[in-house]
Structure formats: structure tokens, C-alpha cells
Structure 1
Amino acid sequence: MVVLPASSHAAAKIQHLISPGGIEAWFVQDATVPLVAMEFAMYGGAAQDPDGKAGLANMVADLIDEGSGDLDSRSFHEHLDRRAIELGFSVTRDYFRGSLRMLKDNKDEAFDLLRTSLTSPHFDGTDVERIRAQLISGLRRETTNPGSLATRKFLETAYGDHPYGHQSGGTLETVPAITIADMKDYVARVLTKEHLKVAVVGDIDAASLGALLDRTFGALPAKSKLTAVADVVAGKPPQREFIPLDVPQTVVTFGDPGIKRNDPDFMAAYVVTHILGGGSGSRLYREVREKRGLAYSVSGSLAWMDHSALFVGSTGTRADRASETVDAITSVVRHMAENGPTEQELDEAKSYLKGSRLLSLDTSAKLASALLQYQLDNLPIDYLERRNAMVDAVTIDQARQVARRLWGDGLLTVIVGRALQATAQPVAATIPAKAN
């Protein structure tokens, strides 16, 4: 057992644990309450869905805890309920993720249930068809959901045939085509130790945790068999797409290429994006909602993946004010690109971002999730300690430069609803492109 503390006092609570079997984890021992929370991820999410099988990873995540080992689906969930164990799986574009939360006294059973889910899932035909029917029902509902249609069209416009442009939940054509053999193949290719990242927070000592990690993940295959995913830049703006849908409220999704997490400009981009679209104090909120009353809410944020990044925003508005709303958003974004934020906006954003992050890590589960994300982003173990200094270091010149880099070319915009056809016409960029 190796436990490597971080080098500084503030981050010393976060330990880099290496189990006897070589499983690594970021670990915070906290006996405040008798709970243990674990988050883990393996590289190879929905981007690993084969052609024509979009939704495969998502279907695996929905079925992997529907019976495993000696337990059928009903018995498996009865064990979870009896011990108040929370176990769940999900997928992102790049990762297959798992979450486990339990009382300290139930940790052995909780980790055993996770182990069997990963190593011996049943994928029983009856359970597969039940989950498939649920997924297809949800996909049918999405065909009349303006938010779902806008998001789907936005990703298709941004990424085309790249795996990031495919629907992680699948489509009405692909989900029926997914077989049990496909799911077993995905498990064998993706659920391995090679790219495993783990974060644990709670009332457990390092030796006990190391043993549980070995018992849970030790039998997984050592190597993954992944399809390479190429780096990609989202489709060049400006572009507009219109999807007619007879609904009372028009939905608008807008965005453009973002900045990846490992980019030197990331923190400046993070701060200036908060100024533009982060909550009720943002420019978009003030101009679109408060001054013009065009929408109840409007926001925008950065989204980053391993092979690309986006700025994405959204709002909803009355059908007869859709064109005005899109024009207002475009104007606010253009002004930010041309002029950047003010000194006051920058100072207020820094103050908020420094305080809000620590306040958001108020439970073991939230802290474990954050520690896992920091690992996936290849950040140092003392990132939490360094973060506020990084925010403070953003200058007004950096913020203005990155605003032009982010939004200088205009926006990708998708409008879904009864919008006038005129609002769906492409608009030329008003700011010349600038080399990054």
C-alpha cells in the first residue's frame, strides 16, 4: 500500500493512494459522517459506439446493474435497497462512469455488488427488452421536444459525422439494432484497468480502501481495445438552422467552438464565459431577460471533451419574439467579442468563482465527483489549492483577447418552434476572424 500526500497543507487532505494491486485513487478520509462515496471512470464512452449502433454505451450503462453474478435483476436491486446502497452508471462522450455511495458498515456488500456488475453482468434478454422499450419510448418523446431537437441539431451541425456529432442516447433506428453481443463486446473493450480513474471520499482508512479497490477492479482486463477518436474543431460559425415545430415556446440553442481544458487560455475563457452567460448577473441575462423581457432564463457555458470543446448556450422565448431574441443574443455576444468585459465585471466574476466552487463541494459525493473530474482533466492533485490563484491571475487584456477568440466569428444557432422563416437565414460575421 502506497499513500502519497500532496505537497502542500491545503491539498494534503487529498491523498494519492496506490493499492497493493496497483489501483490508483485520489482519496479523502473524512469521518464526519459514516458514509463513503466513490466515483470512477474508464476512457471510452459514447464515442466508442460502432457505426449504426449509437446508444450502445448508454444502453450498457442502463443494463449493467440489472442482474449480475448470482443475482437476477430483482434480487440485485433488493440488495441495494435493503442496505441503502446507491449505485449508478452513466456515459459521456469520452467516459463510462460509475457512482457508488453507502453507509460505512455496508461498504463490503456495496463494493461486491459493483464488482459483479463490472465483471459478470447478465444482460438477460427479458431485462434487455424492457430497458430497450423504455429507451425507445424516451426517444419518441424527444421527437416532439424542442430542447432535445435543438441539442441534437446543434451537435450534428457542429460535428457532422465525427463521433461527437452522434447521439449518445441513440436514435429510433439504432437502438433497436443493438444486440446483447454488442453490449458484451463493449464491456470487454472498454471496462478495463488501463484508463481507470477513481476518487473516494468518506469514513474509510487507506488500508481498507486499498483492499476493496483490488477486490472490485482487480479482475478487470488490463488493456482496453478502443477505436481511435480524432481531434475535431466544431463547425465554423456563423450558421443558423431552423426546425419547424408547432409548440408555444420557441427554443434557441447557440454556441461555437470553445477552448479545451488543457489550453493556456482556459481559465481566462472560463471567467469571461461566466461574465457573458453565467447566471442572473450575466450580460445575457441582463440584456435578454431583464431589459427586454424576452425570456425567463438564458445562459451559456463552456463544455470540453477530450478531443474538442464548445461554448453552448440556450434559451426559450415566445414564438412571436423568437427573431428579436436571437438578434439580442447575437448583439450581446458580438459586443463581448469586440470589447471584452469591463474591469468591474472581471473583478465581480473572480470573486464569485473563487467562493462558489468551494461552497459547491459540501458533500462527500460532490467532492468525489470533482476529484474524479480533475483527474480526467489531467489536473494536479493540489488543483483546489491552486485554483483561486489561477482565477486571480486572469488579466483584463487576457479576458478581452479570449473573448474575441471565442466569439469573434459569430455563433452556430439552432431555432426550434414557430419562428419566422426569416430568422433562420444565415447571418454574415461582423467581426473578422483573428488568428489564435
Structure 2
Amino acid sequence: MKQIFFAIGLIFASLSAQASTDIQEVESAGGFKAWLVEEPSIPFVALELRFKGGASLDAAGKRGAANLMVALLEEGAGDLDARAFAQAGESIAAQFKYDIGDDSLRISAKFLTETRDDAMELLRLSMMSPRFDQDAIDRVRRQVIAGIQSDTKDPDSIANQSWDHMVFGDHPYGSDYNGTEASVAALTRDDLVAAHQSIMTRDQVYVAAAGDISAEELAALMDELLSDLPATGATPPADLDVQTKAGVTVIPFDTPQSVAIFGHKGMKRHDPDFFAAYVLNVILGGGGFEARLMQEVREKRGLTYGVYSYLVPKNHAELYLGRVASANDRIAEAVSVIQDEWAKMAENGVTQDELTRAKTYLTGAYPLRFDGNGPIARILVGMQMEGLTPDYITTRNEQVDAVTLEDVKRVAAELLKPDALRFVIVGQPEGL
């Protein structure tokens, strides 16, 4: 089965650059909307479904319910137990993937044209009629708890969770969506059914498809697949205004290398200056070995194998974050260099050469994302969730090219906040 999709993907890659710009907006009789890139020459389809809200919709006191519920969607549905469901999918070379994050529940499906009806019936069963058998619940619960226990020994997980709790507190963002050992152990089947009904709803669904399917066929598929979903679900959590103060928080942990998460408030995705901020981040920490942080922290001083920064525009809060790891006796110097570079860019902006190279990198790399129907469908559904229009694909590079040196300097002064740059360090850092 994997070989089938791999071979099809290689063929489709050669068609993707042209097809990716031909987006059809589809609306079904039942009112569901989708974006479609139709490519009939290859007999298979990638379908992407997103439900806005994700694990942030966990009910109070039920942290981890959404994560456990999603993990059980492929563990039996309708008359099929977990083994029978898996065998049914394999018999028609259909692939289903279910995942969850803070802001969305994600379902990906890949299937051959000739078995589309059978594949969609399996997917519909998993979405509408998951069994939530007790033996499956207990088995998957043990797996989730094992993962939670493993995270307590992982410096990266500790750093991320400590940062989130410090910044977000009691908001759902402030705790791991996997839940805690205690919260997951206490979840009942009724809790999972409630999570299913409150997250997978018609008013929060987004759909995209790429491959051998027409607009009419996709419209009919959506009505068949989604019409029985609940109309509305849980109320989303409140928006947050992130506030941090410059400094260092140390979480003691017995390890030869310290891990640091650092950052402060970021920028909303729909801010008019977002593209300038995006280009700025490539220059500061998001552009690989050419980025300033990599040059100063790794290349010139050998303090780390890697350091990077990234914008995080979540649904209810926005962050500008980074990560670095260094030996305990060198992490203090790495922190100092990052602080210095943060302040320098805030004050002086970037050079014309840096701006030109960043634009070349961003505009040149963008078409490479459309390397198959799966990536295309994922990009389309992501664009919908971000409120973008179909012409974004053709205008995106123009918006990158339109960023000026003055734009980056102005945004650097506004976005970069040396007096709010907070570090959370897990390890045994010396000198901090």
C-alpha cells in the first residue's frame, strides 16, 4: 500500500506546480464548502478535514479528553472493531490519519479513485460512529500515560510545558493537551463521547481536496460524509494578551546539556505587517545557517548545534519563540549572545544584503511545498483556516518581494522586545 502511494506521489509531483494555482471553490447542497485542485490524470485523491478548536475545547477538569478521543477514532467504528477497521482500510489501499493540536483536529485521507466509495464509508464510520470500546480505551489510555511519563524525563518537553504554564496559566494553552496522568486516568467513555460531540461539528469544519475528483463529486462526498455532524459545539476559550518580563527561569534537571525556550508576545497572522515580520524572522533565526542567531551562537562561538526562532500566531494568542540547547557551562554565554542579537536587530533592523537573501530564499522555496496532492490539500485547508483567499498562492511571493528595508526596520522596533525576552531553561546551567 505504501509503495502504491509513493509511486503515485512521484508522478503527481511533476504536475503539482501548475495544478496548485487552479483552485476551485466548491459548495455542496448541504452548505459545506471546500477548496479543490482537480488532477484527473492520476487515479487517487488526498482529502483534508480540519475542525477548528482542537484540544483547546477540552471541558474543564477533562484535560486530555480530546487527545484520547482522536486517538480512538481508528480503533473501531460501526460494526468493525479495531482490527477489522484496520484490515478494511488496508484491503482497499486507503490511508487515514487522525491528529490533534491546541487549535485544530486534523483528519487526512488518501484513497484510490476506484475505491473512493468504500474509503469514504470507512471514514464516515470513524467520524460518526466511533465505538469507543472499553478495551480500546484502556489500551490507548496506557499508551498516552506512558507518553506523559516519558515527557517528564525529556528536557524539551519540560521546557515547553513550563513556558506554556508560565505564560498562559489556567488557559487551555497553559497545559499539555495530552493531559496529566491523573486527568487521563480519570477519563470515562462518556467524557470521550462528549468531546467527540463538542469538537467535531458542522460549524467548525474546513475541507480541501486534491486529485482525481470533480467539484460535483466532492460536493456530494461532503454531504454524505459530514451532514450527520452536530451543528455546533463547545464555546472557544478567551483570547489572551501575552505579557512577559525579561529574565531567566531555571528548571533544575540532571543533564549535561541545558535546553532553553525563549520569547515574548508575537504578531497576529492578519496583522498588515505580518510579512515584514516573517522576513525579519528568517534573517534573525528562521533561515537556517544564514540566520544571525546561527551565525553568532553556533558558527562564530560553537555554543550549540542549533538555535532558531519562529512566529506562533495561535487562535487565541500570539508568540514569538525560539529554542537553543548548549552545555551547562556554556548556556549562559548562548543566552547573552541571543539577548544581544535581539537588541541589535530591534534597534538597527537588517541590512539590504540580508533582506535580499531572505527574499530569495522565501520566494524560491515556496513552490517546492506543492510537491504532491497531499501537501497541496494540506496547504489549501490551512489557507482556509487562516482566512486567506485562493489567490494567496499566486500573490504570496509578491507580498514577500514588496517588503522593504524600512518595513523590516519599523517592524523590528515594534515586534522585538528585549525588555520582555524571557528564557525558560531546563538543566543545570552555570552562571544563571
Shorter-chain TM-score tier: over 0.9
Residue in structure 2 matching 1:164, options 168, 173, 180: 173
Could you tell me how far apart the structure 2 residues matched to 1:237 and 1:379 are?
A: 33
Could you tell me how far apart the structure 2 residues matched to 1:103 and 1:381 are?
A: 26
How many residues of Structure 1 are paired with residues of Structure 2 in the alignment? 413
2:121 matches 1:118: no
The AA in structure 2 aligned to 1:71 is L
In structure 2, stretches of 5+ residues that fail to align are 1-17
Note the alpha carbon deviations across 1:186-240, whole angstroms, 9 max, x for none: 111221111211010011122222222211112212x213223211122323142
Q: Which protein is richer in helix relative to its size?
A: 2
Equivalent residue number for residue 294 of structure 2:
285
Equivalent residue number for residue 218 of structure 1:
227
Does structure 2 retain, via aligned residues, the 8 Å contact 1:159–1:235?
Answer: no
Does structure 1 retain, via aligned residues, the 8 Å contact 2:203–2:232?
Answer: yes
Q: 1:44: how far off?
A: 2.1
Residue in structure 2 matching 1:411, options 410, 414, 421: 421
Q: Provide the alpha-carbon RMSD of the alignment.
A: 1.5
Equivalent residue number for residue 249 of structure 2:
241
Could you tell me how far apart the structure 2 residues matched to 1:10 and 1:36 are?
A: 14
Q: Normalising by structure 1, what TM-score? A: 0.92
Deviates more, 1:126-135 or 1:53-62: 53-62
Q: 1:51: how far off?
A: 2.3
2:197 matches 1:197: no
Could you tell me how far apart the structure 1 residues matched to 2:98 and 2:273 are?
A: 32
Note the alpha carbon deviations across 1:44-83, whole angstroms, 9 max, x for none: 2111112222111111110111100110011001112222
Does structure 1 retain, via aligned residues, the 8 Å contact 2:258–2:428?
Answer: yes
Does structure 1 retain, via aligned residues, the 8 Å contact 2:260–2:323?
Answer: yes
Deviates more, 1:73-82 or 1:206-215: 206-215
Residue in structure 2 matching 1:147, options 146, 152, 156: 156
Could you tell me how far apart the structure 2 residues matched to 1:415 and 1:285 are?
A: 19
Does structure 1 retain, via aligned residues, the 8 Å contact 2:34–2:209?
Answer: yes
Residue in structure 1 matching 2:138, options 129, 132, 138: 129
Could you tell me how far apart the structure 2 residues matched to 1:251 and 1:415 are?
A: 6
Equivalent residue number for residue 46 of structure 1:
55
Percentage of identical aligned residues: 40
Residue in structure 2 matching 1:396, options 380, 395, 405: 405
Equivalent residue number for residue 110 of structure 2:
101
The AA in structure 2 aligned to 1:231 is D
Could you tell me how far apart the structure 2 residues matched to 1:10 and 1:146 are?
A: 43
Could you tell me how far apart the structure 1 residues matched to 2:404 and 2:75 are?
A: 51
Residue in structure 2 matching 1:270, options 265, 272, 278: 278
Does structure 2 retain, via aligned residues, the 8 Å contact 1:90–1:98?
Answer: yes
Note the alpha carbon deviations across 1:269-297, whole angstroms, 9 max, x for none: 11101111111211111111100101111
2:197 matches 1:188: yes
The AA in structure 2 aligned to 1:217 is L
Equivalent residue number for residue 297 of structure 1:
306
Q: 1:349: how far off?
A: 0.7
The AA in structure 1 aligned to 2:199 is V
In structure 1, stretches of 5+ residues that fail to align are 1-8, 424-436
Could you tell me how far apart the structure 1 residues matched to 2:425 and 2:306 are?
A: 16
Does structure 2 retain, via aligned residues, the 8 Å contact 1:246–1:418?
Answer: yes
